[in-house]
Structure 1
Amino acid sequence: MSHTPPGAGSPRPNGEPLDDHGLPRDRLLPRTRISNVIDRFILRIGHMASWIWVALIIGIIANVTLRYVFGRATVWLEELQLYFYAIGFILGLSYALTYDRHVRVDALAERWSMRTRAWVELTGMLVLLLPFSVAILVEAVPYVLTSITLNEGSPSPGGLPYTWILKSFIIWGFALIFLAALSRTLRCTALLFGRPRAL
């Protein structure tokens, strides 16, 4: 008797159906053991990061209330809103890639065969996304380390300290994008070449 992960086959709260592995259903690419591990990790991070948007809304409401009801402007609260937005956005990119909800020209892709679409996606991952992610990471690490060394803070009076915390999410965000692209690459090669072996 096969074991079905909890929630498999049932939709998530956002309406996305799950496959037998408890991951977003994908009609194009097969799944592999490695890609499943990566995808589960990214989705777990994405679900936790989704609470950032709740914090952002609370911050906006608080800032508007302070400004227009009490006549007080707070620089640190305005900057905190930007922090939340930036962190939520950069962490959400890998989540969108894993869910296959990123932007592309579907008007063309829908007319292609599964193998053609896999070849196009594999080429995009190997030529564009994976090298770009590595290039950003190579440049971001010394950039963030310099910010940590200087204990960088906001240049605005009354702004937030520890700007390096926000800058460090460049590393975390693009590391997740790299992992998501690696997962998609492995799934493409599983379809096209049978390696790694599809589940």
Structure 2
Amino acid sequence: MSETPTPNFDGTDPDGLPDDRRSLPRTRLSNAIDRFIMAVGNVASWIWVLLILGIILNVTLRYVFGRATVWLEELQLYFYAIGFIIGLSYAITWNRHVRVDALADRWSPRTRAWIELLGMLFLLLPFSVSILIEAVPYALTSLHLNEGSPSPGGMPYTWILKSFIVWGFALIFLAAFSRMLRCTALLFERPRPIW
């Protein structure tokens, strides 16, 4: 039996993926998907820095210089929405999404895997697909109209924000699919697990 590598101080394993080998095994495809989502999430995490800077700038302009800008307030909402929707897939990959831990902690790993598999298969994956089916035409219509804010002095190009509904739920779908693969690897050894 191979020796289990020790996790890094940041909670990742030596491959740079979240260290949660105790709960579910990994597969080659789930590793590739998780690496992609982690890379996108790491880049997107800088949006929180931009949000803080935008808030500081807005407060300074408003209370020090007596100038309020609608576009800057809307930009803060854009940053928050984008960070949140991208962060959902990141949370699924890190296994930090909301669940009833008071119950799940009492179950065996196989029982948890069954419940997670059924939840992904019958709830999260279909929900993601249904949102994507509706969001793609919604974002495309906004793009074709070159939609902007209805507020005077507001942000142009609101289609960019609406496109993140598509990108965010595509990432959520991928994260859920990766978790589902890991569940089937534990339960059925398909795809072949790599611990």
Q: Distance in 1 between matches of 2:12 and 2:81?
A: 28
- 2:37 corresponds to 1:42: yes
Given that residues 131 and 169 in structure 2 are in contact (C-alpha distance below 8 angstroms), is that contact kept between their aligned partners in structure 1?
yes
The residue identity in structure 2 corresponding to 1:155 is: P
Matched, 1:21 2:15: yes
RMSD: 1.5
> Does the Cα contact within 8 Å between 1:9 and 1:22 map onto a contact in 2?
no
**1:179 maps to which residue?**
174
- Provide the C-alpha distance between the structure 2 equivalents of 1:25 and 1:146, rounded to a whole number of angstroms: 41
Counterpart-to-counterpart distance in 1, 2:123 and 2:12: 28
Q: Which residue of 1 aligns with 2:79?
A: 84
1:44-75 Cα offsets, whole Å, 9 max, x none, are 00000010000000000000000011110100
Superposed, 1:110-121 pairs within 5 Å as 110-121=105-116
Other structure's SS at 2:193 match: coil
Query: What TM-score, normalized by structure 1, do the two folds share?
Result: 0.93
The residue correspondences of 1:150-169 to structure 2 (distance < 5 A) are: 150-169=145-164
Could you tell me how far apart the structure 2 residues matched to 1:125 and 1:21 are? 25
Q: Which runs of 5+ in 1 are unaligned?
A: none
The residue that corresponds to 2:96 in the other structure is 101
Higher RCO (C-alpha 8 Å, min separation 6): 2
- Percent identity of equivalent pairs: 78
Aligned residue among 7, 10, 16 for 1:9: 7
In structure 1, distance between residues paired with 2:85 and 2:13: 26
Q: What CA distance in whole angstroms lies between the structure 1 residues aligned with 2:12 and 2:30?
A: 15
Partner secondary structure for residue 117 of structure 1: helix
Count of residues in Structure 1 that have an aligned counterpart in Structure 2: 191
Structure 1 CA distance for aligned equivalents of residues 113 and 59 of structure 2? 47
Q: Map residues 63-74 of structure 1 onto 2, 5 A cutoff.
A: 63-74=58-69
Q: Secondary structure at the match of 1:25?
A: coil
Aligned partners of 1:46, 1:142: CA distance in 2, in Å? 25
Following superposition, the deviation at residue 22 of structure 1 comes to 2.5
Q: Which amino acid aligns with 1:180?
A: A
Partner of residue 55 from structure 1, selected from 43, 50, 67: 50
State the 1:21 CA deviation.
3.0
Corresponding residue number in structure 2 for 1:145: 140
**Aligned letter for 1:80?**
L
List per-residue Cα deviations over 1:174-199 (Å, max 9, x = no partner). Answer: 00000000000000000000100001
How far did 1:20 drift? 4.2
